Structure 1
Amino acid sequence: MAAIQARVIHAMTIPFTVQLVGNAEQSAQLATVIDQVTPEIADYLHHIETAFSPFSADSQVSAARRGDWRALISAQPSQTSTQPNTRHAPNEPSAAHRLPHTDFAEIYALVQQAKQLTHGHFDPMHAGQYDPTGIVKGWAIEQAHQRFLMPLITAGTCEAAALGGGGDIQAAVADTSDFTWHIGVQDPANPNATIRTITLRNGAVATSGTSKRGEHITRSAHDLAQATVVDDHLTFADMWATTAISAGEQTFRGIVAGNPVAQSSLMSVFVRPDGSITQFAPGEVPANHA
């Protein structure tokens, strides 16, 4: 029987959950390991919040809103992103070639890429101001998972590890383990109920909607109450979920139909304002675009 240890971190105004999985004999060891790694993840998330919060006058995002974009350049190159297989837009250099490098510069490049991939429906400008928060949380969770949790799986310290917060989760399982993650999709009309259970081993689930934060996304259509997207990387799952809410169901389906990578990998679950649910799976030609 699998032993699961979990800890909660409060950052970015939401709770984040760290989970480690092992066999029953590893329970005590997992407790020690998770107590060591959780503060490291917390420090990292607080660091990202300090840099990117639009609500803090001292953040780099607030500085950019005042016209100060110096955070795009760093005097000392830092470690480039560890995110594997990042899908760059045409002519967009990879992180390894963008030096000097800062997290702020990486997010700026990602939101520009997202705007291009989504035909402008993922827009880093909100109400006339720079606001990359639609991608920051998913990116931060993925980065923290890669930096702090994947090494535990690689070293055999645990069989599986996940980090999630605010409807977004990045999860992974060791090749030698038969463990599977079961991730519930929350009902936007009832926070104590789920509408779907997603099973995966390695991948990410992102959910975007208006039930908790209201109308925080610039929208060209209002025919979705919630969008959940499953992808390999949370950065992109988060981007596509935000795009679905922004663009609306039919436009989103059209964008996916025109993007071979997205069409082959994305699984989406939509909740319409009337409570009806629809979805399409990887490789499936989205409805009305056959």
Structure 2
Amino acid sequence: MRHVEEVMGTVVSIELADDLPPERLVELVGSTCAWLHEVDARFSTYRDDSEVCRFRRGEIALADCSDDFRHVLDRCADLWRDTGGYFDANGGGALDPSGYVKGWSVEVASRRLADAGSIRHYIGAGGDIRMRGSGPGGRPWRVGVRHPWEADQLAWVLSVTDGAVATSGTYERGAHVWNPLTGKPAEGLRSVTVVGPDLAVADAYATAALAMGESGLAWLAQRIDEGYESAAVTDDGRAFTSPGLPTVD
């Protein structure tokens, strides 16, 4: 079963490859979409009544926020430390955990689907994708990573059975990632893709490496021991991949 939902300012694609009754698949898709809309309502920086905006204005204290909100802020703090400050939910001057929330919400959605009986599924939200189990026909899921200059071409095709793929780049939205240490737009890398076991972490790592510029290549290499492989393209067109990146020949 396939479904497309507009939520969190992007288009989310959901595909369930499980051998389950059609009505059960519909229920699973519905509960997944409901969760994503709940996250959007709570964490949107564009809705005045969201938990994020209310917290920003001082209308609610951290102790009175939801468990999910406190979890997200704790993980953003952890990632700020782990990335040497390059992943910064406060980098724009006001709290904005969006760089973590999208990947986290999809990761949680995948875990909820698995707990509900869907052990073969795909959830894609922009450049953030979580796959679990095998795809249609029992084959691995295939993920195309867009060429950073040629929109109709692919830089890599990845083969993933159970894992996450996150891509951050400057080729679609321009200079939307900033180097928080300099206060200037990130430069040096045009595209970063990270593959690993947790989408929230992979997404944050891709964003942090892009913010670092070319020094992010060495930093990404150190993430291999954590189970995160990567691919990157520099502003001048050089391509780099880690040894274990699951590419299709």
**Kept after mapping to 1: 8 A contact 2:209/2:220:** no
**1:140 aligns to 2:105 (yes or no):** yes
Q: Deviations over 1:39-74 (max 9, x none)?
A: 211111111011111111111111222234525435
- 8 A Cα contact 1:227 1:268, kept in partner: yes
Whether 1:200 and 2:156 are equivalent positions in the alignment is no
How many residue pairs align between the two structures?
A: 238
CA positional deviation for 1:229? 0.2
Q: CA deviation at 1:276?
A: 3.1
**What's the TM-score once normalised by structure 2's chain length?**
0.86
Match of 1:278, as an amino acid?
F
Q: Which runs of 5+ in 1 are unaligned?
A: 75-100, 155-159, 284-290
The one-letter amino acid paired with 2:112 is R
Q: After TM superposition, give the deviation of residue 264 of structure 1 in Å.
A: 4.5
Give per-residue Cα distances to partners, 1:161-212, cap 9 Å, x unaligned: 11111111111116xx953111111123233321101111111000111223
Q: Do the aligned partners of residues 20 and 133 (structure 1) sit closer, same or farther apart at CA in structure 2, a change above 3 Å counting?
A: same
Q: What residue is the counterpart of 1:45 in the other structure?
A: 36
Q: 1:215 to 1:106 in 2, by over 3 A?
A: same
| Aligned match for 2:239, one of 256, 268, 277 | 277
Q: 1:126 to 1:166 in 2, by over 3 A?
A: same
Identical counterparts, % of pairs:
29
The one of 36, 47, 64 equivalent to 1:56 is: 47
Matched AA of 1:183: V
- The change in CA–CA distance for 1:30 and 1:7 in structure 2 (over 3 A counts) is farther
SS at match of 1:140: helix
Q: CA deviation at 1:282?
A: 4.6
Going from structure 1 to structure 2, the CA distance change for 1:64 and 1:273 (only over 3 Å counts) comes to same
* Residues in 1 aligned to 2:22 and 2:171: alpha-carbon distance in whole angstroms: 34
Structure number with the bigger relative contact order (C-alpha 8 A, sep ≥ 6) is 2
Aligned equivalent of 1:13:
9
Partner of residue 267, structure 1:
229
**In the aligned structure 2, how far is the partner of 1:135 from the partner of 1:54?**
13
Instruction: Decide whether the 8 Å contact of 1:138 with 1:235 is kept in 2.
Output: yes
Q: Counterparts in 2 of 1:104-253, with a 5 A limit?
A: 104-153=69-118, 160-173=120-133, 178-219=138-179, 220=182, 221-250=186-215, 252-253=216-217
Code of the residue aligned with 2:93 in structure 1: it is G
> Could you tell me how far apart the structure 2 residues matched to 1:270 and 1:254 are?
11
**45 and 171 in structure 1: CA distance in 2 versus 1, 3 angstrom threshold:** same
Q: Matched residue of 1:47: which SS?
A: helix
Q: Which segments of 5 or more consecutive residues in structure 2 lack a partner in the other structure?
A: none
- Indicate the SS of the match to 2:207: helix
Partner of 2:145: helix, strand, or coil?
strand
Cα deviation digits, residues 61-101 of structure 1 (max 9, x gap) = 11222234525435xxxxxxxxxxxxxxxxxxxxxxxxxx6
Q: Distance in 1 between matches of 2:226 and 2:69?
A: 30
Equivalence for 1:81: none
Q: CA deviation at 1:263?
A: 3.4
SS in 1 for 2:117: helix
Mean CA deviation greater in 47-56 or 212-221: 212-221
